[in-house]
Structure 1
Amino acid sequence: MQIFINTYGTYIHVKDDMFAIKIREEKSKAVKVNHIAAHKITSFVMSKGSALSTDAIALALKHNIDIVIVENNGHPMGRFWHSKLGSTTKIRKEQLKASLDGIGVTWIKAWLSQKLENQADFLQDLKKHRTKQHDFLDQKIESILTLRQNISQSNADNIKEVDESFRGWEGSAGRHYFEALSKCMPDAFAFKGRSFRPAQDEFNAMLNYGYGILYSRIERALMLAGLDPFVGFMHRDDYNTKSLVFDFIEPYRIYADRFVFRLFTGKKINKSHFSEFTGGYSLNEEGKAFFVAPYLEYLDSDKIRYKGRLQTRMNTVQLEAHRFANSLIE
């Protein structure tokens, strides 16, 4: 299981070779302690304001348990991770070479093309129960697929030759896509395009949190496959940025998009899940508690068809990370 620690003042330590999670109830001041065996845990995701002992870190490292520290918006800040590589160093050497030649271009084309295809497919699905918006959605789908074709038909031996074009086409597709999603939202939660930190509306606040969880899961999948999350292809030159995470996540953003959108259109979201502050919105503690458990079930338990077999969404990510890593050394 993956454990999220969002309550301020929570403390994790070790007792009898088990994790002891001490939570102080805010209203009653009572202290609640949960004991969990290490073999049942895959990762801890901890918000600022919580604490853990060095014994807890050591036990996590011993059992290959990931510990991720996140911002309040869910964006990962850093992690405790064992010092062993996920696989042979040859993968990282070939990854670096690929970032400088046509192999990197090939993979970026594939990831971005899949992202835009996912967006078009989602809008196609939305047409089923929105007959009045068919023409509008058809226009958006056509625009996105045209931009996808621009990406897939590009020829270059180095990403520098096409990265600006790719960014432009991807950005244009994103504007069409989110305009369409906003048009299909309940009036109370309509929004004006993508916004990041801070989110300018409730939808983007929850979507950013969903992406934040996905970032940490993508990074873990890449590391387990023996890849370096800092050596990317299109996002490769930003200082101290996990560029490969941002490259590799593109086809999988649709997981968060579909889940968050359906929470809003299913009328399961209310204003009490969010805090408004000067300049934006954030998901509050109540909202995080509402969101995290079903989102993790959607990622880790619900199954989709992948290469003829049923797999969880995060299993498909891990399998694709290994496929990518293996392709570099084959």
Structure 2
Amino acid sequence: MPDLPLMLVAIVALALFFDYTNGAHDSANAIATIVSTKVLSPKMAVVMAAMLNLAGALMGEQVARTIGSGIVNAEVVAGCQTIVLAALFGAIFWNLLTWYLGLPSSSSHALIGGLMGAAAAYSGFDALNFASIFKKVILPLVLSPMAGFLGGYVIMVLLTWLFHKAKPRKVNTLFRKLQIVSSAFMATSHGQNDAQKTMGIITLALFLSHEIPEIHVPLWVKLSCAMAMGLGTATGGWKIVKTMGHKIFKLEPIHGCAAETAAAMVITAASHMGAPISTTHVISTSVLGVGASKRLSAVRWGVAGNMVIAWIITIPAAGLVAALVFLALRQLGTT
């Protein structure tokens, strides 16, 4: 890591802490189903998820570029590093609150909401890149959960049709093995999308402080974020694992495999398009889709409704906290 000004060091440290909380908060995305179906022990699942989250974080930087240049107009906020600092405070506050409550909300949208709120507090809504926000944030916010639900439903229907004559014991044995593969795919895709968001926020801070000439993720940023997310995942998010794996729909290995495969496909596609989607949204709705393929009453829709409420309020809630933090920092003269 190169020599950096004190404010920038603080931003990088806070961003890596956010990445750590992201890994801990969202580790459930990759391991909830495989733990709840008892295919792997919690310890083994966390170790696998941590390693593959780290590997996925090093694949590409399309999502990082979106966070770095597609949310705020860099020329409008140029030179104001405090925006990034306030955005991180807003995102971390929301992450910790929902982590404590056991709600599988979106760390991604907490970060995006924080960035939007801080930038708007600095120079009004002209600081926001609305065209990019609509294309890369709002549309994926709506479409990715729908794709997760549909994918989980379709894959589960196909698997049911293919194995309807097979003995349940043989099916269970087969999918206990296949679920390890699908969980590994899910963990890798999670790292590929989520860790890049923190890479983007650090890169934006480096650009605003004129440490780099353009929005391009330095290697040390990639490595630092990958390691922070891997360490966070290793701590686990067991309250959220319980919600994801038990309270939505009672899962068996075939259900977990279908949900993880559907979610990982959606997340990987979004990562290649540079869309910072919520991995939590996608795996949650994939589980719902799998449950709905059995029968609608198999899904605990009340729990699903609580998650949707958390999703809706994440961006404005994190944005409000970030805006208040920015205004407080400005009163202290740090801007």
Length-normalised TM-score, structure 2: 0.24
Judging by fraction of residues, say which structure has more helix: 2
- The structure with the largest alpha-carbon Rg is 1
Length-normalised TM-score, structure 1: 0.24
- Higher relative contact order by CA 8 Å / sep ≥ 6: 1 or 2? 2
